[in-house]
Amino acid sequence: RSTKRMARMAAWVLAILLASCAFALATFDKEFDVTWGDGRGKILNNGQLLTLGLDKISGSGFQSKHEYLFGKIDMQLKLVPGNSAGTVTAYYLSSQGPTHDEIDFEFLGNVTGEPYTLHTNVFTQGQGQREQQFRLWFDPTNDFHTYSILWNPKHIIFMVDDMPIRDYKNLEGKGIAFPKNQPMRLYSSLWNADDWATQGGRVKTDWSHAPFSASYRGFKADACVVTAGGRPRCGASVGTEVAPGTGAAGEWYNQELDLTRQQRMRWVQRNYMIYNYCTDPKRVAKGVPAECSM
């Protein structure tokens, strides 16, 4: 009898754990609004999947209902397959206005068989031009992969499948601006940029392959969410049924790369980085930004 009772107890605990896991990922209809595209952006599978479409008439896009002031944002993306030349899938945090802050992932398409370019950038007070570009070590069109932004008061860390690829550090003490005061929404869009996206604009979008489609799932934000009163509330993952807790931020708030993860990032940068604004000869000739020499 005691064995049966223990088995029932174990099953009950497992059911609670599974239910908690089910709540850990937000649904797109609760967390996002499709803001443009005239029906080309779709929320499917009971809010678990979002797709964006692009044809010759229009692309499409969505934005988060919430604004965040620091957080760890995860999204699984599967990019436009086949001949994606000329297309850009953008996934980024941004505030508004002429002195906006922004943290960018952009995926630049290519002709069939040629690799995507992963483009990253950081804007502070309306100033960008901090581009680093990478190839990926897998085909991002075959399956979903997780692209993450960790933004806390000391670091902006870009990650792919939990592999750090870039760490933009807070160097305010050296007079370099860092995004820390402006709340940002999460945005994504699929659009035509064939004037620059693929091989410098030499390869144009082949509309015979349209409509193009990118897919999203597995959104999660452990973040400080800006409330109606304008104050950030830090705590549980947004968009879940989990209780918000004590209002304290999670481990991400003070997280930085340990030695092992720094080494992994350097490995990615050595093997897969194809452009760095700090080493661009045209930029160097005009004087590199101050953070490049630190």
Instruction: From the candidates 102, 114, 251, 256, give the one annotated as an active-site residue.
Output: 102
Pairing verdict, β 163-169 and 155-160:
antiparallel
- Spatial separation of the C-alpha atoms in residues 233 and 244, rounded to whole Å: 9
Encoding tokens for residue 126? 């309306």
Active site residue 291: no
Q: Give bridge partners of residue 149 from the DSSP assignment.
A: 73, 158
Q: Give bridge partners of residue 213 from the DSSP assignment.
A: 53
> Do 87 and 156 touch, CB atoms closer than 8 A?
no
Task: Give Cα 19 distance to the centre of its chain.
Answer: 26
Pairing verdict, β 155-160 and 145-151:
antiparallel
CA distances from 218 to 77, 158, 203, 232, 278 (A): 9, 17, 32, 23, 34
Instruction: From the candidates 31, 67, 106, 291, give the one annotated as an active-site residue.
Output: 106
Run of H or E including 135: none
- Spatial separation of the C-alpha atoms in residues 292 and 23, rounded to whole Å: 42
Active site residue 251: no
Catalytic residues: 102, 106
